């Protein structure tokens, strides 16, 4: 459980959080957008920053920033609070009352860290392979290389050896789908 959840909720500006996922347009004191929960051409999704809430007048969905993250991004309550805390650089303080949750979260975070390391590893390998880099440049994907972190995998056991050197276990590499 997150012990400083009220601090995180108080810091939340709904337009900041929803703005990461949808394009909001200011209309008076409120903001409008096309609803991310159903298909529409005319915006019926209203965000009220003063109340910290949203409502879609098309499909009826409503709530706050946490509810939006739970519904739109399929996050749990704790994951939504953690996302918001990260957005505002707030340190998440957790109680030790639910160790199963804590262990599962640690494993999940380990997988994400492993995948981030692997993306960096592949990205750094791209300049080492001239034919792959030339191919991407020939296809005019120069900007996409940096934006999407396009990389290259060296054949053999280089990924495994580099991961072991970086301190990643076989269990994490297997859970992340890298081996």
Nearest to 115 by CA among 30, 179, 65, 158: 179
pLDDT band at 101 (very low <50, low <70, confident <90, very high): low
Q: Is 68 found in the same domain as 116?
A: no
Distance CA 33, CA 13 (A): 17
CA dihedral (166, 171, 172, 177) in degrees, to 10, reads: 120
- Across the range 142-163, mean pLDDT stands at 88
Domain span including residue 158: 99-175
The answer to the question of residue 92 being in a domain is no
**pLDDT score of 168 more than 80:** yes
- Across the range 29-37, mean pLDDT stands at 94
* pLDDT per position as a tens digit, 38-83: 989 899 999 999 999 999 999 999 999 999 999 988 888 888 888 8
Please give the structure tokens belonging to residue 144: 């996409």
Q: Is 124 found in the same domain as 167?
A: yes
**pLDDT score of 98 more than 60:** no
Domain end, chosen from 33, 54, 87, is at 87
Rounded to two decimals, what is the model's pTM?
0.54
Please give the structure tokens belonging to residue 46: 């209203």
The answer to the question of residue 56 being in a domain is yes
| Phi, psi angles (nearest 5°) of residue 42 | -105, 130
pLDDT band at 31 (very low <50, low <70, confident <90, very high): very high
- Residue found by looking up tokens 């409502």 in the block: 55
How many domains does the chain fold into?
Answer: 2
Please give the structure tokens belonging to residue 136: 């991407």
Return mean pLDDT, the chain.
88
pLDDT band at 96 (very low <50, low <70, confident <90, very high): low
């Amino acid at each position: 459980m997150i012990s400083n959840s009220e601090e995180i909720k108080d810091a939340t500006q709904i337009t900041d959080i929803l703005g990461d996922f949808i394009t909001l347009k200011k209309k008076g004191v409120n903001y409008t957008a096309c609803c991310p929960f159903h298909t529409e051409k005319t915006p019926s999704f209203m965000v009220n920053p003063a109340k910290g809430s949203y409502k879609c007048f098309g499909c009826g969905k409503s709530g706050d920033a946490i509810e939006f993250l739970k519904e739109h991004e399929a996050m749990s309550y704790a994951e939504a609070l953690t996302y918001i805390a990260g957005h505002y650089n707030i340190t998440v303080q957790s109680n030790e009352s639910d160790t199963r949750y804590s262990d599962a979260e640690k494993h999940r975070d380990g997988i994400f860290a492993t995948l981030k390391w692997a993306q960096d590893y592949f990205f750094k390998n791209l300049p080492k392979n001239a034919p792959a880099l030339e191919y991407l440049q020939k296809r005019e994907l120069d900007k996409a290389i940096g934006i999407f972190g396009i990389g290259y995998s060296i054949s053999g056991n280089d990924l495994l050896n580099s991961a072991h050197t970086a301190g990643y276990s076989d269990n994490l590499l297997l859970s992340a789908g890298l081996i």
